[in-house]
Amino acid sequence: MVVTTTRTDPATAAEDEARAPGTRGRGGRPSRSEALQLGNRILEVATELFLTGGYGSTTIEAVAARAGISKRTFYHRFDDKASLFAAVVRHIIARIRPPPEVPLLEGATLDDVLRRLARLVLRAALSSEALALNRLLIAESARFPELVSAAHSAGGEQEGVALIGGLLARELTDAPLPPDVAAFGAVQFLQMVVTVPQRRAMGFGTAMSPEELDAWADRVVALFLDGCRGGLAVGR
């Protein structure tokens, strides 16, 4: 359920943001750095509350109180609880994705590049925050359908499909693959890499060791390329 409240708090967004420590901008207004710090504080608080208490039990009032802001400041930044959740998902994705300086498409062959990508994807998907987020979605998406939409709109999976689909379109066959066919292959690859290790990490079986995960990544890439070379071309 999305929490909706009237915006009648006497405190203003500017007053709340002015409480943050640091150098003030002109006229005592919070600086850009202070505003960023406040935004990060809200997201950190919301992330902890959502992942530990669940979506249904987390209220805007609780987030505001823990972050030390008024509800007016909250609504200055977010439309409702669903938009906050979408921001939290983006916040989590930003933390678990490889740093910008880490090359993603590095490798001498397509096999090498996909094995590297498979390991990076597994590292992100099996992080504690990613697992907690998946548990939350499984537990509460039936009661709160907006969770799935919010998680999907955050863009993590779409980015992966675009990256891997572009790679397959260029490298898998002699003739470039149509975008929809390449995207289909990318989705299948990600499902093959993530599904079983993630389920086992969430308690559906025994969690894989680092050595098992490396072997899993290599076998998935081998099976994927063995099965789709020519197979994707047939679907064009």
Question: Do 73 and 106 fall into the same domain?
Answer: no
Question: Do 149 and 214 fall into the same domain?
Answer: yes
Within a domain: residue 130?
Answer: yes
Kindly tell me if the per-residue pLDDT of 225 is higher than 70: yes
Question: Do 68 and 38 fall into the same domain?
Answer: yes
**DSSP letter for each residue of the chain:** ---------SS-HHHHHHTSSS-B-GGGPBPHHHHHHHHHHHHHHHHHHHHHH-TTT--HHHHHHHHT--HHHHHHH-SSHHHHHHHHHHHHHHHHSPPTTS-SS-SSSHHHHHHHHHHHHHHHHTSHHHHHHHHHHHHHTTT-THHHHHHHHT-HHHHHHHHHHHHHHHHSSSSPPPHHHHHHHHHHHHHHHHHHHHHHHTTSSPPPPHHHHHHHHHHHHHHHHHHHTTHHHHT-
Least confident range from 18-22, 152-156, 220-224: namely 18-22
Within a domain: residue 6?
Answer: no
Give residue-wise pLDDT tens across range 69-87.
999 999 999 999 989 999 9
Would you state the pLDDT for residue 123? 95
With a pLDDT cut of 70, the percent of the chain lying above it is: 83
Would you state the pLDDT for residue 77? 92
| pLDDT level of residue 88 (50, 70, 90 thresholds) | very high
Within a domain: residue 8?
Answer: no
Please identify, among 37, 70, 94, the residue that sits at the C-terminal boundary of a domain.
94
Question: Do 126 and 48 fall into the same domain?
Answer: no
| Overall number of domains in the chain | 2
Residue 83: which domain range? Answer: 13-94
Question: Do 116 and 220 fall into the same domain?
Answer: yes
For residue 175, give the CATH number of its domain. 1.10.357
Kindly tell me if the per-residue pLDDT of 7 is higher than 70: no
Would you state the pLDDT for residue 14? 43
Would you state the pLDDT for residue 227? 80
Question: Do 206 and 145 fall into the same domain?
Answer: yes
Would you state the pLDDT for residue 135? 92
Question: Do 130 and 203 fall into the same domain?
Answer: yes
For residue 49, give the CATH number of its domain. 1.10.357.10
Would you state the pLDDT for residue 29? 64
| pLDDT level of residue 179 (50, 70, 90 thresholds) | confident
Residues 194-209: what's their mean pLDDT? 96
Question: Do 72 and 105 fall into the same domain?
Answer: no
Would you state the pLDDT for residue 148? 83
Would you state the pLDDT for residue 160? 87
Would you state the pLDDT for residue 178? 87
Question: Do 188 and 158 fall into the same domain?
Answer: yes
pTM of the predicted protein model: 0.77
Question: Do 107 and 64 fall into the same domain?
Answer: no
Question: Taking all residues of the chain, what is their mean pLDDT, rounded to a whole number?
Answer: 83
